[in-house]
Amino acid sequence: MEINTGEEKKEPSYTEESKQVETGVSSNKTETSKNTAAVSSPPRRIRAAPHTRRIAREMGVNIEKIDGTGPSGRVIDDDVYRFAQGGDSVNDTFPDSDAAVNSTSQEKESVPLTGVRKQIAKKMSDSWNTIPHVTHFDEADITNLLNFRDELKQSDETISVTSFFIKAIVISLQDYKVFNARLDEENEMIELFKSCHIGFAADTKEGVMVPAIQNADKKTIKTINKEMKALTEKAQEGNLSPSDMKNSTFTVNNVGPLGGTAATPIINKPHTGIISFHKTKKKPAVIENDEIAIRSIMTISFSFDHRVADGARAIEFINRFIDLIENPKKLFLELA
């Protein structure tokens, strides 16, 4: 509702000052439109495989700043490595930890990365960055195996649990040869090995060493146990020779005595698989006739190269292994 005061309403005068204000507003609107257009412009489209993008993320490289050398300008793995080595990698999301922390307030000690540790670091990085790892977890009831080992002890035959594991792995590898193999990327071939040379992780002061039991598929459990014990002693004394660690086709790692429920072991390239045995725990389990009993349950983690095998084969392989160690007397049907 408008109140009439009797005075004549006057139109505002259109002065030069008004014009300047109006022009300024118009100019600001134009500038804002330009800025908005710049902000909303679509990001640069990058052609790169998921694996290449993962490498870039792990190395802290902004893949949008890389000029691809692959077909149609695609960014390939070598482009990422080359860019990172040039010192131009940018991580826009996470700042450098050295910049975020005042180094003057931190006391630190630098340890040279040399010798065995340097070789381990190089090999593990290469494996993780080039092999698409998948880890399958499972459990095995090794109560019968432990009881059988105790029976052998009473007959003065001391056999380590790992020796039984290795024999069961060898038998399983003969049924699933794709895990006793290597991928020849250059020639695009999967090489299946006829013999099983089993490398096993030995913990030493210098780091993990992997001596190999040659032709384990042709050896008895007793022989495997004897050779593994001798190689372990050599590793811990620092006396392993290059020949002790050559030609392995598969790796086993028994970390159970140290503890731990599970892990994701990194494949010992160029192998296609590695298996870890973790801590054995006594747990209630359902046995025959739906009875509950306390059993010795061990966790297993098996990492494999997804380029050469799928999950179904990995599960079948582990099922075969579990069947053998849960029913250890079956192992003697496969003696060399």
Residues identified as active-site: 306
E strand segments, the chain: 133-141, 181-184, 189-192, 198-200, 202-204, 207-209, 212-213, 250-254, 273-286, 292-305
Q: How many Cβ atoms from other residues are within 10 Å of residue 201's Cβ?
A: 19
The DSSP symbol for 93 reads S
Query: Which residues in 123-162 are b (16+ Cβ under 10 Å) and which e?
Result: eeeebeebbeeebbeeebbbbebbebbeeeeeeeeebbbb
Cβ–Cβ < 8 Å for 324, 318? no
Residue 202's nearest CA partner among 245, 142, 170 is 245
Please state, in angstroms and rounded to a whole number, the distance separating the CA atoms of residues 327 and 319: 12
Please state, in angstroms and rounded to a whole number, the distance separating the CA atoms of residues 330 and 168: 9
Please state, in angstroms and rounded to a whole number, the distance separating the CA atoms of residues 213 and 219: 9
